[in-house]
Amino acid sequence: MSDDAATQPNLAEPHDALADSPFLRAARGLEPAHTPVWFMRQAGRSLPEYRALREGIGMLESCMRADLVTEITLQPVRRYGVDAAIFFSDIVLPLKAVGVDLDIVAGVGPVVARPVRTLADVEAIEDLTPDHVPFITQAVRELVSELGATPLIGFAGAPFTVASYLVEGGPSKEHAKTKAMMFGAPDVWDALMRKIAGIAAAYLEVQVAAGASAVQLFDSWAGALSPADYEKYVMPHSAGVLARAGELGVPRIHFGVGTGELLGHMARAGADVVGVDWRVPLSDGIARAEGRVVQGNLDPTLVFAPTEVMTARAAEILDAGRAAPGHIFNLGHGVIPSTDPDQLHRLTDFVHEHSAR
Ligand SMILES: Cc1c2[nH]c(c1CCC(=O)O)Cc1[nH]c(c(CCC(=O)O)c1C)Cc1[nH]c(c(CCC(=O)O)c1C)Cc1[nH]c(c(C)c1CCC(=O)O)C2
């Protein structure tokens, strides 16, 4: 497709259209034609076309095949007409790419064979270079060419959330071993956070170099921390990732779950856009985001309510979002796998119609 585009006279047009896309305008605090909408986890198990494509192929394997990554990323864009695509991958993929022995187990999540406990364990993890992830570069290039004026969001897991998988060895509710290391072995903790931050930043650089036009840093489990502990043990490392991403010139979205008390810190860590989950009224989220653009914040379970109940809540959020320097509509967390795709389609249309300027 890029070859075809190169032969056409209006080559500059898609780039202007991309910069003028509702998502990128809103992310930069400019007035968009309508409030942009995309959904965290918009690709994945809620889509029958995803389940068909993934049949017999492991999650990590599918993340390492550029053809599959491209197709899976495009599926929700085609189906819903959302205002952005998010690169199909996982927060643990870069660890796999540098040689950490891990798998993503269906219905469980990431499982690490030998959890990280010591400084030697940390030092054994390689730093990420573009040569570790050629399939990422290839998939992003293909996607950007296919997507035209629809922006592609690159992403990485933030140091705390990725550390939790590495230290616990799998998903965890309490993050007890992780926080035991944080409180009890600060030298190991610091080395681990630096290691992951370096990998995350390098992973984002690869995606932006290949054409991603925004990035999202997922600190899904940061809500397990008090503001003081977040500030002391985590924020400097996330800020390091966001500072490196800032040098790439693309908008940076910073997201977590249960982070109502941390939104100010997450904004100050270096976000252009702050993700707000559904537990915080958007008007409060806007105040706590200290002048940043906000993203969110519909409760992901509202798709299971009657359509008019869902859209009435969406209308309240859209109206509240007008008080922000910019608002990107999204769910407060990822799409639940049992979600009816038709509801997300109706929601996308509703957001566009209700917010048309
Ligand atoms: C914490 C986290 C992970 N992975 C991710 C996060 C941060 C976002 C969040 O808070 O939800 C990020 C992620 N993982 C995936 C994406 C794809 C892009 C998109 O949002 O469409 C993104 C952005 C694909 C995936 N990542 C995973 C799946 C399911 C795998 C499958 O289809 O078998 C997908 C589509 C696996 C995964 N990987 C992880 C979990 C908790 C799970 C789910 C386990 C399960 O319920 O099966 C770790």
Q: What pLDDT is attached to residue 15?
A: 63
For 329-348, the pLDDT digits (tens) are 999 999 999 999 999 999 99
* Overall average pLDDT of the 2-13 stretch: 48
* pLDDT tens readout for residues 300-332: 999 999 999 999 999 999 999 999 999 999 999
Q: What percent of the chain is predicted at pLDDT more than 90? A: 95
For 143-179, the pLDDT digits (tens) are 999 999 999 999 999 999 999 999 999 999 999 999 9
State if residue 91 touches ligand 1 by the CB under 6 angstroms criterion: yes
288 classed as catalytic: no
**Measured in angstroms, how far is the CA atom of residue 116 from the centroid of ligand 1?**
21
Q: What is the pLDDT of residue 14?
A: 58
Q: 170 in ligand 1 pocket by Cβ < 6 Å?
A: no
For residue 85, what pLDDT is reported? 98
40 lines ligand 1 (CB under 6 A): yes
41 in contact with ligand 1, CB cutoff 6 A: yes
Mean pLDDT of 224-237: 98
Cα 213 to Cα 135, 155, 245, distances in angstroms: 18, 11, 11
Strand segments (E) across the chain:
85-86, 102-105, 109-112, 152-157, 214-218, 252-255, 273-276, 293-298, 327-331
Q: Which residues of 186-200 are buried (b: 16+ CB within 10 A; e: fewer)?
A: eebbbbbbebbbbbb
Q: Which residues pair with 37 in a beta bridge?
A: 329
Please say whether the beta carbons of 278 and 270 come within 8 A.
no
CA angle 194, 197, 199 (to 5 degrees): 110
Q: How far apart are CA 273 and CA 328, in angstroms?
A: 9
Output the CA–CA distances (angstroms, integers) from residue 150 to 23, 37, 137, 145, 344, in the order listed.
8, 12, 18, 10, 18
Is 127 catalytic? The answer is: no
Over pLDDT 70: what percentage of the chain? 96
Looking at residue 13, what is its pLDDT? 55
Question: What ipTM was estimated for this complex?
Answer: 0.92
Q: Which of 80, 165, 230, 233 is an active site residue?
A: 165
Answer whether 152 contacts ligand 1 (Cβ < 6 A): no
Instruction: Using most ligand atoms within 8 A of CB, pick from 86, 87, 91 the residue to mutate for ligand 1.
Output: 91
pTM of the entire predicted model: 0.95
Q: Is the CB of 80 under 6 A from ligand 1?
A: no
Closest CA to 81 of 38, 128, 130: 38
Mean pLDDT over each residue of the chain, to the nearest integer: 96
- Predicted confidence band of residue 237 (pLDDT cuts 50, 70, 90): very high
Q: Residue 284: give its domain's CATH number.
A: 3.20.20.210
pLDDT at 228 over 70: yes
Q: What's the gap in Å between 144 CA and the centre of ligand 1? A: 22
Contact present, 243 and 189 (Cβ < 8 Å): no
Residue 239, classed as helix, strand or coil, is helix
What letters, b where the CB count within 10 A reaches 16 and e where it falls short, cover 63-82? bbebebbbbbbbbbbebbeb
Nearest CA to ligand 1 atom 42: 109
Output the pLDDT for position 1.
42
List, in sequence order, the alpha helices (H) in 64-170: 66-80, 93-97, 119-123, 134-147, 159-168
Pairing of strands 102-105, 109-112: antiparallel
- Tell me: pLDDT of 6 over 70: no
Show the domain range for 253. Answer: 2-355
How many Å is the Cα radius of gyration of the chain?
19
What is the average pLDDT across 78-100?
98
Report yes or no: 162 and 112 within 8 Å, Cβ to Cβ.
no
Q: Whose CA is nearest to atom 3 of ligand 1?
A: 91
Task: Give catalytic status of residue 45 as yes or no.
Answer: yes
Spatial neighbors of 183 by CB under 8 A, at least 6 apart, are none
* Of 77, 24, 19, residue with least CA distance to 47: 77
CA of residue 108 to ligand 1 center, whole Å: 10
Ligand 1 contact via 223 beta carbon (within 6 Å) = no
What is the Å distance from ligand 1's center to 13 Cα? 34
Expressed in angstroms and rounded, the spacing between residue 260 Cα and the centre of ligand 1 is 22
Tell me the Ramachandran region of residue 175: left when phi exceeds 0, alpha when psi lies from -120 to 50, beta otherwise: left
Active site residue 268: no
Residues 311/346, Cβ–Cβ less than 8 Å: yes
Distance 11 CA to ligand 1 centre (A): 35
Please state the atom number of ligand 1 nearest to the C-alpha of residue 54. 32
Q: Of residues 7 and 101, which shows the higher confidence score?
A: 101
Cα–Cα distance, 141 to 55 (Å, whole number): 25
Tens of pLDDT, residue by residue over 18-77, are 999 999 999 999 999 999 999 999 999 999 999 999 999 999 999 999 999 999 999 999
Atom of ligand 1 nearest to the CA of 104: 36
Q: Does 50 sit in the ligand 1 pocket, CB within 6 Å?
A: no
Average pLDDT for residues 121-125, to the nearest whole number? 98
| Mean pLDDT score, 271-277 | 98
Domain count, the chain: 1
> Is 203 among the catalytic positions?
no
CB 137, CB 208: distance < 8 Å:
no
CA-wise closest residue to 129 among 187, 198, 189: 198
Please tell me the residue having the least CA distance from ligand 1 atom 40. Answer: 109
